[in-house]
Structure 1
Amino acid sequence: MIGNSYFFGYGSLVNRASHSFEAAIPAQLTGWRRIWRHTTLRPVAYLTVVPDPEAEIDGLIAPVPDADWPALDAREAAYIRAPAAHQVRHPLPHAPEIAVYTIPDGLHAAPSHAHPILLSYLDVVVQGYFREFGAAGVQRFFDTTQGWDAPLLDDRSAPRYPRHQPLTAVERALTDQHLERLGVSILARDR
């Protein structure tokens, strides 16, 4: 039986191949914006959300297995869990408890050359948005995410992201097209 505890995923959790959360469904979160940030807990930049009353982002909601929030909190160790049920639009017939993971204000900073975005991580995120929301959803992902002035490390040939996925030529080209459109600075390939 599916419980009443859900989380909203807006980054790598949108890619079903990167996790085993059952019964995930597309949803939209209002009042939050995605942004690239880094903390002292990780050597690279990653996505978080920050409050923004004008924003709406696509993502997935999924039931928390066995309502075991501590296990999910461990996976999302760099984040805190914030209530978001009243800010999520979804097709469920009931009104579940829904949380979103965010890095607390004051505990994150802009990406830097020492803390770049990993292309292997971005590829997983874009692949998820493409499979869930199509090319238009990928466009919305790029357009509703801030921080594209961050440096990006091309680690595709030796992925550093532990949940990296194989890409199709279409998926690779879609990511590259948007990076070029936004003028993202790509660092030399990882060695």
Structure 2
Amino acid sequence: MRRRSQIGHGIGMHDPWFFGYGSLVNRATHAHEDAHKATLTGWRRVWRHTALRPVAFLTAVEVDGGEIDGLIARVPGADWRDLDERERAYDRVQAALVTHSGPRKLAVEVYTIPHGKHGAPDRAHPVLLSYIDVVVQGFLNEYGIDGVARFFDTTDGWDAPIAFDRPDPIYSRHRVLSRKERALVDQHLDEVGARYVEPPKF
């Protein structure tokens, strides 16, 4: 049975929340059940890589006029340990302009790679198709087909090489997609002119 949201109720009223804009939008990748659709203003997504990871991932960067959909979720007891380990290539910062369906103001934080600590993806650090699959599945479940289109439109860096690892997924939180979900991913990647490469050998 789905747990009733505690936004605005006594339990967890002072707990912090995170704003997820990539794989964290897919609820199947985390155990934070008190989660809700939200929009972060003043930011865009971009594909980047860091020295801390062998492949590229999404980060969010501050941009005037930017706006991205995502998911906020409560962090019970302000215990960030699991999330901080998962997002260890990122800094966690305050997210000032978050719009959500809750009846009160929340303390929301967002993970972002600090400026100067990330570079553009390349053949040695490609984007994983299995990671894109997870992200798109999450946006489809939360926002529908139009939300998937907005995800692609509000993400920069689609000229990055994309490792075709769907047959043998490298991403540790990979999910099984339906035929329609895979077709939706492929359609949008075709539209942005995606360039596929062989998966890296680790």
TM range (shorter): over 0.9
| Aligned length in residues | 190
| Counterpart check, 1:105 vs 2:105 | no
Distance 1:179 1:145 in 2: 12
Choose the corresponding residue for 2:101, options 73, 88, 91: 91
1:127-166 → structure 2 map (5 Å cutoff)? 127-166=137-176
Instruction: For residue 75 of structure 1, report the CA deviation from its aligned partner.
Output: 1.8
| Counterpart check, 1:184 vs 2:194 | yes
The residue aligned with 2:77 is 66
Greater helix share, structure number: 1
Distance 1:74 1:186 in 2: 29
| Counterpart check, 1:27 vs 2:38 | yes
TM-score when scaled to structure 2? 0.91
Q: Deviations over 1:25-50 (max 9, x none)?
A: 00000001100000000000000001
Q: 2:76 is aligned with what amino acid?
A: P
Q: 2:56 is aligned with what amino acid?
A: A
| Counterpart check, 1:6 vs 2:26 | no
Q: 1:177 is aligned with what amino acid?
A: Q
- Structure 2, unpaired ranges of 5+: 1-10
TM-score when scaled to structure 1? 0.96
Instruction: For residue 188 of structure 1, report the CA deviation from its aligned partner.
Output: 3.4
Q: Which runs of 4+ in 1 moved over 3 A?
A: 188-191
Bigger Cα displacement from structure 2, 62-71 vs 91-100: 62-71
For the structure 1 residues 166 and 179, does the alpha-carbon distance in structure 2 shift closer, same or farther, using more than 3 Å as the test?
same
Q: Deviations over 1:136-191 (max 9, x none)?
A: 00000000000000000010111000000000011100000000011010113678
Query: Is the contact between residue 23 and residue 138 of structure 2 (CA under 8 Å) also seen in structure 1?
Result: yes
- Structure 1, unpaired ranges of 5+: none
Query: Is the contact between residue 21 and residue 63 of structure 1 (CA under 8 Å) also seen in structure 2?
Result: yes
Distance 1:35 1:61 in 2: 19
Query: Is the contact between residue 151 and residue 187 of structure 1 (CA under 8 Å) also seen in structure 2?
Result: yes
Q: 2:165 is aligned with what amino acid?
A: D
Choose the corresponding residue for 1:37, options 42, 48, 62: 48
Distance 2:190 2:86 in 1: 32
Query: Is the contact between residue 118 and residue 152 of structure 1 (CA under 8 Å) also seen in structure 2?
Result: yes
| Counterpart check, 1:118 vs 2:128 | yes
For the structure 1 residues 156 and 190, does the alpha-carbon distance in structure 2 shift closer, same or farther, using more than 3 Å as the test?
farther
Distance 1:104 1:42 in 2: 14
Instruction: For residue 71 of structure 1, report the CA deviation from its aligned partner.
Output: 3.4
Identity across aligned pairs (percent)?
57
Q: 2:48 is aligned with what amino acid?
A: R
Query: Is the contact between residue 124 and residue 200 of structure 2 (CA under 8 Å) also seen in structure 1?
Result: no
